[in-house]
Structure 1
């Protein structure tokens, strides 16, 4: 667990003045695992979007993605994420066996129904979330962008909730126009 003081207890407050108890900011790193079937598209995009949202919010978030089986990261996922300046070029498709310390996550989020069905319970003291998104595979780049944008909104809300100390959204309902 990492904790940081806004200023060291032996120092005067910023701007001088009377010494008082320091304001404390507990910065506990949250670990998040995002699961999908192949770890080739949705979970990869969600990992990149979550990391970027956390970076922008100044939140320490350790994000990983994996699949119930590994294949390869789809070129379309890399392309639509690059449009947002998020680089997935070094990402590889992984299974749970490839994830460091797989039983020590604060949140496990499934982004497809197959992964949710395959992993209804996750070991440890883990909060489960299911955010099902339409599989963009086989679709146009516009379809990939629609799914990416939905995911950006959902994982942005997830990071915003963590940043504000609120409960993370329990579920996600895709808009009827884009759901499978």
Structure 2
């Protein structure tokens, strides 16, 4: 069995680009990365199937070694259907996100950061519940600078609008938008 080096290289580039795009914050880029990884997987299955052969229909006088294995073809067809379904779902999520927030970037979530660090955020002041375990930091969570800047901007916007609690809803972000 010989594998085309060009197809193998194309598959590797598609996987690399797809994984890179899936690690981005933009949901549209995540979708494009998912599509690239799905197509690279189809190419991998095609390469592993081997060379072209006869149709897998049993007839007299045809050796089984000359036939193509139909399993990779069935797996590719199944992968195409699954990729289509997940892509349609992701496009619906992207569309809904765009309609509600007019952006497709994912936001930083305090609790996700806390979980990633091994603790759960308990309050808006970003403090942790003391556990009595000396190995767990009980000080305030340090959040990324981008999140802190967003919070400062929201506090400034709330102060400018005369809302001391910072509960004002920005235009276009109401419950019925």
TM-score by length of 1: 0.23
Decide which structure has greater strand share.
Answer: 1
Decide which structure has greater helix share.
Answer: 2
TM-score by length of 2: 0.24
Greater Cα radius of gyration, structure 1 or 2: 2
